């Protein structure tokens, strides 16, 4: 049975092999201070790194101050932010071998909102946003300043600089945020992009800037580490991005060396979304089939058999979980049980490796943290 689960089979992208195909989706925590990771990130990422997933992707992390969604979002454009993340990652890596990715982002015209969820004091400063055209996201939002060529070059450079910082931090993978109506997504979408220059109008023109960002970042990121893009399969709106356009964008990215496309939807305007389990999977399936690029499916995938079936049907190569893994942080353990597979369980937790709380030595192999032999030895002595 073991070899039959695709969800629990490894996947290789460039020099990175994920032990299984469960990916923890990027999730904003609105808990940074001046863009710096805090103790909340230590707890949040630390506990998710014990879940047995194949990859943990850090939340949308801004490449310049104006690119933060709120003043409580992570950034990676100062030395202090790099140092704060280094501290968090050092602790996470001490107790987990899970590969770590980061989502690099620019919030564009959707930046500068009030932090919805700060655990500490909220910095309420607002700033002028930027976008493809001076079209506000909603009536209660300010209109962005239209990015000129100098501004676009600055953003391309900011993505590349953040990638260099991510490389120094030892991230295994970068995902560029090009979905949900943020800056790159807004360039792609006719809803937000009304430009009449080389960067607006036809799909070729609308995707020019996101592709330039991709190229700049790819050149700054080590060749053996994978780089992927989260994009919209649809804007759920008649004037928005169509699934065929998403395929064309994914194919253009593939030609530039994109290793995977994480197919999400929506966010370029406020609209009805027909939410149900796996509601975004058809877009992943189409992009995978027609653009011939590996994809990640995301969106209300909660049942391990559903996740497995999506992979078996060839609708995606990886499955990302957001809310489901916040709600059930040991989802990969439970999925492994359901699918007759194995997953890494931290040494001190191994007696809880099944729902019945029984020892699982034969069922779930234990991999103690490799880099901390002292702690591993002590814990080993307690557990045996």
Ligand X SMILES: Cc1cc2nc3c(=O)[nH]c(=O)nc-3n(C[C@H](O)[C@H](O)[C@H](O)COP(=O)(O)O)c2cc1C
Q: Which of 11, 56, 60, 227 binds ligand X (CB under 6 A)?
A: 60
CB-wise, 321 or 345, nearer to ligand X? 321
> Which residue has the CB atom at the shortest distance from ligand X?
322
Catalytic residues: 182
Q: Which residue has the tokens 């976008």?
A: 131
Least Å distance, CB 25 to ligand X, is 3
Binding mask 177-216 for ligand X (x = CB under 6 A): x-xx------------------------------------
Distance separating alpha carbons of residues 354 and 336, to the nearest angstrom: 10
Distance set, CA 330 to CA 137, 272, 320, 344, 346 (Å): 37, 32, 14, 11, 11
Q: How far is the CB of 280 from ligand X (least distance, A)?
A: 8
> Tokens in use for 361?
């030595």
C-alpha 374, offset from chain centre: 33
Closer residue to ligand X, CB minimum distance, 251 or 300: 300
Query: Which region among 10-18, 176-184, 303-311, 331-339 touches ligand X (by CB under 6 A)?
Result: 176-184
Q: Segment contacting ligand X (CB under 6 A): 31-39, 92-100, 163-171, 294-302?
A: 294-302
Of 25-33, 132-140, 202-210, 235-243, the segment contacting ligand X by CB under 6 A is: 25-33
Closest CA to 268 of 298, 286, 246: 246
Q: Does 28 bind ligand X (CB under 6 A)?
A: yes
Phi, psi of 36 (to 5 degrees): -90, 140
Q: Does 324 bind ligand X (CB under 6 A)?
A: yes
By CB under 6 A, residue 103 contacts ligand X:
yes
- Regarding 59 and contact with ligand X (CB under 6 A), the answer is yes
Nearest CB to ligand X, comparing residues 11 and 298: 298
**Cβ 375 vs Cβ 382: under 8 Å:** no
Q: Measured between alpha carbons, how far is 250 from 208 in angstroms, rounded to an integer?
A: 13
Structure tokens at 149: 């060529």
User: CA 243, CA 236: separation in Å to the nearest integer?
Assistant: 10
Pair 81, 95: CB distance under 8 Å: no
How many beta carbons lie within 10 A of that of residue 313, not counting itself? 11
Given 11, 22, 25, 76, the residue binding ligand X (CB under 6 A): 25
Of 7, 11, 21, 26, the residue at the interface with ligand X (CB under 6 A) is 26
Residue 42 lies near ligand X (rule: CB under 6 A)? no
- Partner residues linked to 103 by β-bridges: 60, 175
Binding residues vs ligand X (CB under 6 A): 25-28, 59-60, 103, 177, 179-180, 230, 264, 298-300, 321-324
């Amino acid at each position: 049975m073991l070899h039959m689960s695709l969800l629990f089979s490894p996947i290789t992208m460039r020099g990175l092999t994920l032990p299984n195909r469960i990916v923890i989706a990027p999730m904003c925590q609105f808990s940074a201070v001046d863009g710096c990771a805090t103790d909340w990130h230590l707890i949040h990422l630390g506990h998710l790194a014990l879940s047995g997933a194949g990859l943990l992707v850090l939340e949308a992390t801004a490449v310049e101050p104006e690119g933060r969604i709120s003043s409580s979002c992570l950034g990676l454009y100062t030395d202090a932010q790099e140092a704060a993340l280094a501290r968090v990652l050092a602790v996470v890596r001490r107790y987990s071998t899970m590969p770590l990715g980061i989502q690099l982002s620019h919030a564009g015209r959707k930046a500068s909102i009030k932090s919805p969820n700060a655990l500490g004091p909220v910095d309420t400063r607002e700033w002028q946003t930027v976008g493809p055209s001076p079209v506000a996201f909603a009536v209660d939002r300010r209109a962005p300043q239209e990015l000129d060529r100098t501004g676009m070059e600055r953003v391309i450079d900011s993505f590349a600089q953040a990638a260099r910082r991510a490389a120094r931090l030892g991230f295994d993978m970068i995902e560029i945020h090009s979905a949900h109506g943020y800056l790159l997504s807004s360039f792609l979408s006719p809803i937000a992009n009304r430009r009449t220059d080389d960067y607006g109008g036809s799909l070729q023109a609308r995707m020019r800037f996101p592709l330039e960002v991709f190229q700049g970042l790819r050149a700054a990121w080590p060749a053996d580490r994978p780089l992927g893009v989260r994009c919209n399969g649809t804007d759920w709106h008649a004037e928005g991005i169509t699934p065929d356009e998403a395929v064309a964008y994914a194919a253009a990215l593939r030609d530039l060396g994109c290793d995977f496309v994480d197919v999400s939807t929506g966010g370029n305007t406020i609209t009805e979304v027909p939410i149900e389990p796996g509601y975004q999977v058809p877009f992943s399936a189409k992009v995978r089939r027609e653009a011939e690029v590996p994809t990640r499916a995301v969106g209300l995938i909660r049942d391990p058999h559903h996740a497995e079936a999506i992979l078996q049907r060839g609708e995606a190569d990886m499955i990302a979980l957001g809310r489901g893994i916040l709600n059930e942080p040991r989802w990969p353990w439970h999925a492994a049980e359901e699918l007759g597979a194995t997953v890494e369980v931290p040494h001190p937790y191994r007696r809880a490796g099944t729902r019945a709380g029984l020892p699982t030595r034969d069922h779930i192999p234990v991999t103690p943290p490799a880099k901390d032999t002292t702690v591993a030895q002590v814990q080993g002595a307690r557990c045996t």
